[in-house]
Amino acid sequence: MGRDRDRHFLTLILDRELRAGETLKAHLEYRGPISPDGLSGLYQRYYWEETTESREIVYMTQMQPVHAREVFPCLDEPDLKVSNWSSNSSFLFQDDP
């Protein structure tokens, strides 16, 4: 695996070239930040819920170029778009220990 921090790229290095129509499965575990400033990526906000009289949390996103990949691994470069791409993602939000 190669990493280019300047361009925010992670490169998967395979043992061989893929054939057209071949399926590649990759399992990545990734920990992404919740933005502290709320100006980009994924950030947390609070609101007051009148009916329950409680403070509630909502997670919001602001995805300009390269911000999506700060939240989760993805192909967000126009030159890297692929057809027949599918992703099965699940997200767990938790406080840092």
SS (H, E, C) the chain: CEEECCCCEEECCCCCCCCCCCCCCCCCCCCCCCCCCCCCEEEEEEEEECCCCEEEEEEEEECCCCCHHHHCCCCCCHHHCCCCCCCCCCCCCCCCC
Mean pLDDT for 39-51 is 86
Tally of structural domains, the chain = 1
pLDDT(75) > 70: no
Residue 90 lies in a domain: no
For residue 93, the model assigns a pLDDT of 59
Low-confidence winner among 34-48, 58-72, 78-92 (lowest mean pLDDT): 78-92
Note the pTM of the prediction, 2 decimals.
Answer: 0.49
- Show the domain range for 55: 2-13+28-77
